[in-house]
Structure 1
Amino acid sequence: MFDLPDTVYTIQHLAFEDLGAWEDVLYEQGLRVRYFEAGVENLEKAFAHEGLVIILGGPIGVYETTDYPFLQKEIDLLKVRLEKKLPTIGICLGAQLIAHALGAKVYAGHAKEIGWSTLSLANAAHHPLVALADTPVLHWHGDTFDLPAQAELLASSDLYPNQAFRVGPHILALQFHAEVAADSLEKWLIGHTCELRQAQIDIPTLRAAHQQYAPQLQQVSATVLGQFLAGLKSQS
């Protein structure tokens, strides 16, 4: 199982959506980071990795396998990984991929959720997201998912009931972006400008909210990731 120190394999669907503030947290834990580019690189090595794998976000949908055939291969590899209960975190698209691989439906939501707001945390024992209570997080998605049958719900938002879930101590899915760094939103604003315009999101307002909330989230989310890593170590 997962044994520190190790290398964290990170699957990236979009160049500017990286580990953000979490990269420093991993380095502080004595871990290295290896990125894999989905759609470009062979992901078999990444999904077979016995250490932690983090699957990042992206603007495509889990169900768009005809347009993006690599997604089906990614889903198939992820199913095997989850069956083996190997340590995995999914963020945004990554969370949707986990939900789909576990047999849940992923689909277009009724509204874009882009912006900062707090979560409603579920009543769960040893809640891995307890540090996020009352801390606004960044939401940036249009798709949503049903809760997998074997999953435990961890968080909801005003717009969507399924914002985070876990399967045992090894699998954590976050619809929101806990990893975003305080100093890196501008590349998101540039890269996602078409989506922001279509969703009629006011960019200066979004930027101002990021400047207000991201420094606190960066500190708090470091605790969330650190506790997840500690839980993996205790299970190894």
Structure 2
Amino acid sequence: MKIHYLQHVPFENPGSILEWAKANKAIVTATQLYNDEALPDVNAFDWLVVMGGPMNIYEVDQYPWLKAEKALIKAAIEADKVVIGMCLGSQLIADVIGGKVIQNKQKEIGWFPISFSEKAKASALFAFFPDQPVVFHWHGDTFVELPEAATVIAASAACKKQAFVYQQRVFGFQFHLENTLPIIEDLIKNCGDEMIPGDYVQLPEEVLAHPEYIRQDNHWMAAFLDQLKQLTEEGWI
């Protein structure tokens, strides 16, 4: 298995996804877009993982590599690759497939529960999640008006579209299951000015007070990837 990931800023790497890839003997390559590195050919990987970042999908003038990145995501989807987007990554996928990304009514930063749809709970990819799992959020935008081929599978009190599945092999998650403690610490260091207390924005002390949530999220990330690997290898998706 060959996994390629797209990283937008130095402090948001794939975290526990890299640990899972190592345990599964996957070949991992990366494009550090913030260093203007060249994107790979779509045939160079099996899975494409698109990470988060503080920029928005429409800031092409400030981040000109967004245009080429979207083209690669589109090519990967058309080539039936597995594509997984985390936060900004999910919004980039949504834009590529014809959805719309807008500013959410409020920012969502910290540990908040989500709820999966009944359809998602019936899928082996998500059936292991408990009711109302607490996951990590750090986003201000959200995707809306997704195409009919995309199914919204999760919601939270602050954001009604938390995750979607598109054509069985493409997944967008607004929330972060992959973040490790160093990543969260770096997010606070680099983007902490966004943490203005509100109904859905927690302070740094509260975010850092829950190492048990990090361990649980990373466990769920690995369980999802395990199921995804099995289903793709067996030809179910």
Question: How does the TM-score come out when normalised to structure 2?
Answer: 0.89
Please list every run of 5 or more consecutive structure 1 residues that lacks an aligned counterpart in the other structure. Answer: 1-5
Query: Per-residue deviation at 1:201?
Result: 4.3
Cα root mean square deviation, aligned: 2.0
Deviation at 1:97, TM superposition (A): 0.5
Distance 1:149 1:38 in 2: 31
From the superposition, tell whether residues 131 and 182 of structure 1 become closer, same or farther in structure 2 (CA, over 3 Å): farther
* Distance in 2 (alpha carbons) for counterparts of 1:148 and 1:15: 32
How far is the alpha carbon of 1:32 from its aligned partner?
Answer: 2.4
CA contact (8 A) 2:7 2:52 kept: yes
Q: Does 1:102 align with 2:97?
A: yes
**Which residue number in structure 2 is paired with residue 14 of structure 1?**
9
Secondary structure of the corresponding residue to residue 132 of structure 1: coil
Percent identity between the two aligned chains: 30
Structure 1 residues 198 and 63, CA gap change in structure 2 (3 angstroms): farther
Q: For the structure 1 residues 7 and 44, does the alpha-carbon distance in structure 2 shift closer, same or farther, using more than 3 Å as the test?
A: closer
Q: Equivalent residue for 1:139?
A: 137
> In the alignment, what sits opposite 1:3?
none
Deviates more, 1:139-148 or 1:96-105: 139-148
Distance 1:222 1:16 in 2: 21
Cα deviation, residue 185, structure 1: 2.1
Q: Which residue of 2 aligns with 1:207?
A: 208
CA drift at 1:33:
1.6
Of 109-118 and 63-72, the range deviating more from structure 2? 63-72
Alignment counterpart, residue 71 of structure 2, candidates 54, 76, 86: 76
Shifted more, 130-139 versus 150-159: the winner is: 130-139
1-structure distance, mates of 2:177, 2:229: 15
Match of 1:153 in 2: 152
**Deviation of residue 101 (structure 1)?**
0.2
Deviation at 1:197, TM superposition (A): 5.1
Q: 2:142 corresponds to which letter in structure 1?
A: T
Contact 1:144 1:162 in 2 (8 A): yes
2:208 corresponds to which letter in structure 1? R
Q: CA deviation at 1:182?
A: 4.2
Determine if the alignment matches structure 1 residue 128 to structure 2 residue 115. Answer: no
* Aligned with residue 54 of structure 1, among 37, 49, 53: 49
Name the CA distance, whole Å, in 1 between partners of 2:85 and 2:38. 19
TM-score for both structures, normalised by structure 1: 0.89
1:26 paired with 2:24, answer no
1:67 aligns with 2:65: no
Aligned length: 229
Q: Is the 8 A contact 2:149 2:167 kept in 1?
A: no
One-letter amino acid of the structure 2 residue matched with residue 170 of structure 1: R
Structure 2 unaligned blocks of 5 or more: none
Question: Separation in 2 of the partners of 1:166 and 1:109?
Answer: 20
